[in-house]
Amino acid sequence: MGQKTGIQRAVELFGNSPTKLAAAVGHGVVRQHVEHWLSVGRVPAEKCPEVAVTTGVALEELNDKVNWGLVRGETAAKRMGAPTGRSVESLTRDEIRQLALFAAERRDEKANPFLQGSFKYSQFQNDYWRAIAKRFG
């Protein structure tokens, strides 16, 4: 068997229980979401910060399709001589919001056609921002 995905490692931390991981992450995540993430091998970008904070699994392991270095601004930090490779736990509230916004804007709408241009998507964004503000505000 190949190397484990980030979501597999995250579920293992909760006794191999998608239900327990979903409950720990909260913010509307249910067992079926976690099971879907396991089947596709990655967490949606907009949920990665919450899963990473809950489990300690790196963002890059949870979703390898997002350039998390760009999101974190590592290139600018290197130019300024600042340390890079920060864990998600060390990000500020504003950095988490920027990260979530970037991830939500870059998501593949074709993978979620029921959200395209609909009330559900605007409601999803509102719920997501409230959840981020509650957790980090």
Tens of pLDDT, residues 26-42: 888 999 999 999 999 99
At 59, the pLDDT band (50, 70, 90 cuts) reads: confident
Listed residue (49, 43, 57, 133) closest to 91, CA to CA: 49
Q: Is 134 a residue whose pLDDT tops 70?
A: no
Q: If you write DSSP's letter for every residue of 68-92 in order, what string do you get?
A: HHHHHTHHHHHHHT------GGGS-
Q: Provide the percentage of residues in the chain whose pLDDT is more than 90.
A: 32
User: Which range has the top average pLDDT, 43-52, 73-82, 121-130?
Assistant: 43-52
Residue 68's pLDDT band (cuts 50, 70, 90)? confident
Rounded mean pLDDT, 71-94: 55
Contacts of 41 (CB under 8 A, 6+ apart): 5, 7
Task: Choose between 113 and 69: higher pLDDT.
Answer: 69
Asked whether the predicted pLDDT for residue 3 surpasses 80, the reply is: yes
Domain regions of the chain by residue span: 6-136
Nearest CA among 58, 47, 45 for reference residue 13:
58
Confidence band (pLDDT; 50, 70, 90) for 85? low
User: What is the radius of gyration, based on Cα positions, of the chain?
Assistant: 15
Which residue is it, tokens 């997002």? 66
Would you tell me how many other CB atoms lie within 10 Å of the CB of residue 61?
21
Whole-model pTM? 0.56
Q: What are the φ/ψ torsions at residue 108 (nearest 5 degrees)?
A: -85, 105
Establish how many alpha carbons lie within 13 A of residue 69's alpha carbon, considering only the half-sphere containing its beta carbon. Answer: 9
Higher pLDDT, 75 or 8: 8
d(CA 26, CA 50): 8
Nearest to 11 by CA among 1, 126, 36: 36
Quote the mean pLDDT of the chain: 73
